[in-house]
Amino acid sequence: MIDRAIGPRFVARSTARLRAYQSGAPDANGQAPERHASLGAGSACRHCLNEVAAGQPYLVLAHRRIPAPQPCAEFGPVFLPAEPCERRHDSGEVSAMFWRLPQLLMRGHGHDDRIVRGSSGQVVDTERLARPGIVHLYLRSAADSCHQCRIERRA
């Protein structure tokens, strides 16, 4: 069981970075974000942590979640809305969007932003956050491995 005093806290993408991508800023591969129309389910926004409604535009881009280059600083696809939306408040509440996903993939990282050995690439439950040495997790779709959000321990 997770100790509520230490977590979790679900952290959405930053508004400043989203606005830059919406304005055409290059992604982690140096390319402009791709623009698509949502089919509804599966087009999840990493800023408001809701699905982009069917027919609405969204962006797909390459994102590196770890700030400094290193072996654990992997790239992955991220979906963001093409139009402004309200950023989801960082909280311990799980977005309804995640309950609709049959499985999630988590990778545990330590203070140095490196993957904690034995916590990578596994479909696991949220109790993984209670493991010593893990300070944040990256939640990914188990179906297509795209980034969903960052989960942190509460300070």
Q: Is 2 domain-assigned?
A: no
Q: What pLDDT is recorded for position 37?
A: 92
| All residues at 6 or more sequence positions from 25 whose CB lies less than 8 Å from its CB, including other chains | none
Q: Is 113 domain-assigned?
A: yes
Q: Is 1 domain-assigned?
A: no
Give the tokens for residue 84. 């402004």
Range of the domain at 68: 9-152
Distance CA 17, CA 80 (A): 10
Nearest 10 degrees: CA dihedral of 81, 74, 135, 126? 70
Q: Is 3 domain-assigned?
A: no
Q: Is 71 domain-assigned?
A: yes
Q: Is 41 domain-assigned?
A: yes
Q: What pLDDT is recorded for position 110?
A: 78
Question: Which whole number is the average pLDDT over 1-23?
Answer: 72
Q: Enumerate the β-bridge partners of residue 37.
A: 57
With residue 17 as reference, give the H or E element that holds it.
Answer: helix 15-22
pLDDT tens, position by position, 72-83? 777 778 888 898
Q: What is the count of structural domains for the chain?
A: 1
Residue 17 — pLDDT band, cuts 50, 70, 90?
Answer: confident
Q: Are strands 104-109 and 147-152 parallel, antiparallel or unpaired?
A: unpaired
Distance CA 99, CA 51 (A): 12
- Residue 18: pLDDT over 70: yes
DSSP 141: E
pLDDT tens, position by position, 114-154? 777 766 666 655 555 566 777 767 666 665 666 666 777 66
Q: Is 95 domain-assigned?
A: yes
pLDDT tens, position by position, 26-63? 998 999 999 999 887 767 788 888 888 889 999 998 88
